[in-house]
Amino acid sequence: MHENELIKGVWIKTYTIPKDRDYYDIRNPADTRQLIARFPRLKREDVKSAIDVAKEAFAKWSTTLPVERANILYKTAFIIESRANDMARLLTLEEGKTLADSMFEVVRTVNLLRFYAGGLIVKDLGKVIPSQDKNTLIMTMREPPLGVVGVITPPWNFPLSLPAWKIIPAIATGNTVVWKPASITPTIAHELVKAFYDAGLPEGVLNFVTGSGGEVGDELVMNKDIDAITFTGSLQVGKEVNEKIGKQNRFVRVQLELGGKNATVLTKNGDINLAIEQVVRSAFGLTGQACTATSRFLIPEDMHDEVLNKLIERTKRIVVGNGLKQGVDMGPLASREQFEKVLGYIELGKQEGARLVYGGSVIKGSEEFDHGYFVQPTIFDGVTKDMRIAREEIFGPVLAVMTYRTLDEAIDIVNSVEYGLITGIVTRDLNEAMRFSQGVKVGVVKINKPTIGLEPGYHMVALRRRVMIFIRRWVRRQFNSSLE
């Protein structure tokens, strides 16, 4: 490929990137010798231009007929579907996940487009409410579009479907968007924007800006012409985003998704083999790089040895390698930063006294692995709830095995972290499942299902516990019939 074809720009109507902007490289995490693309590090003035364009486009887009907006979503779905093989391959090259996982994400993005086109735009109407007064009828109208929505998605693990969950309903309901994608995976994000415009989306409705969170992201949060912010990322950065918005002398709708430290609990009434299959899939699938991944596996104390042995034997069968190769179960970590972070947590687990029973090493020694960010799937046993590897989000293929005596103790362990995204229980006892569901403080409980994966209509409703943030559920307000 010619070098000029690797240089990507931005989508800000007819905006020309200033010549003094620096560019950064996007490389294949399975083989860092391969250059995928180069993107500009934009500055505040570039983001301001994008916001101005979005504000100008809002006046017309907000009055576009809902059926016209729905048609554009349907066309975008058709275009992505027709490009699915190429987009899946690009996603794997850029992020590292297996080709099967990449194809699943492309298909899910297509499904989201059709879900919102058919289930939201056309059907989300006003309501008639009975009145307490005679000869009175209360009629409600759907809330009008907000304006310009800033979409900030630093996570690179789902660079298509995660931002699609935010962008699609925003533009579907008549808003315009300025989107900062993950710095690690802007190439596939670029293709998503291209599909929208190839489908006939008017210029300025969706604007795409790349660069650092400290400059590009901060401008989106602080700019007075942004009417709503949706952010997915770390707990700490989410708190900072909320604090900055709270200090502004105006009301901005804000939605935050801030990670997870999820547990799967096997009870004495559960199917051991089912639990192991689900935990292995949830802990090591996607290389553990998912906010819904299982990172804690709770086992009844008197079942520990049997379950642990079976878990290790099953984990040994995981095939690690380049995600483009057939038969690979787990690809590389997505970046050097994440690679070093995961290795750091593995060392921390050893220092804390946890017992490393499987994995924990960098995979090297052959042409396939020597130039990528490959780490073995890793299992720690003897983990206690005070250890950092049991409390902090690692975002990698590291599983902490913990034991409990009673269901109440298991619930206490699940609730002992500051996250509350999702949890799972494996049991044949319905009463046990219901008692567990009522006791855990999380947004989603999976019963006899893997923790990874959520239905389209229930994404973004699980908010962290103990995080003192003021959130207006603008997702519910703006997209109530599809998300409620």
Percent of the chain as helix, strand, coil, to the nearest 5: 40, 20, 40
Residue 473 has pLDDT above 70, yes or no: no
Which residues lie across from 23 on neighbouring strands? 40
CA distances from 123 to 56, 263, 476, 478, 482 (A): 28, 37, 15, 13, 9
Name the pLDDT band for 228 (thresholds 50, 70, 90): very high
The packing angle between helices 407-414 and 430-439, to 10°, is 40
- Residue 261 CB-density burial (10 A; 0-12 exposed, 13-18 middle, 19+ buried): buried
Query: Is 84 in contact with 106 (CB distance < 8 Å)?
Result: yes
CA distance 401 to 413: 12
User: Please, what's the b/e burial string for 264-297 (b: 16 or more CB within 10 A of its CB; e: otherwise)?
Assistant: bbbbeebebeebbebbbbbbbbbbbbbbbbbbbb
Catalytic residue annotation: 257, 291
For 67, list phi and psi in degrees, rounded to 5.
-65, -30
Percentage above 70 pLDDT, the chain:
89
**Ranges assigned E (strand) in 140-224:** 148-152, 176-180, 206-208
Name the pLDDT band for 477 (thresholds 50, 70, 90): very low
Name the pLDDT band for 404 (thresholds 50, 70, 90): very high
Q: Output the pLDDT for position 154.
A: 87
How many residues are given for the chain? 484
CA distances from 186 to 44, 180, 259 (A): 18, 9, 21
CA distance 283 to 290: 9
CA dihedral 148, 251, 155, 21 (to 10 degrees): 60
Tell me the mean pLDDT in the region 157-162: 95
What letter represents residue 18's amino acid? Answer: P
List the Cα angle 82/86/89 in 5-degree steps.
Answer: 140
Tell me the mean pLDDT in the region 154-161: 92
Name the pLDDT band for 131 (thresholds 50, 70, 90): confident
Residue 223 has pLDDT above 60, yes or no: yes
CA distance 416 to 20: 49
**What does the pLDDT look like over 292-328, one tens digit per residue?**
999 999 999 999 999 999 999 999 999 999 999 999 9
Bridge pairing between strands 262-266 and 422-426: parallel
Look at residue 327 and give its three-state secondary structure.
Answer: coil
Residue 47 has pLDDT above 60, yes or no: yes
Query: Is 332 in contact with 284 (CB distance < 8 Å)?
Result: no
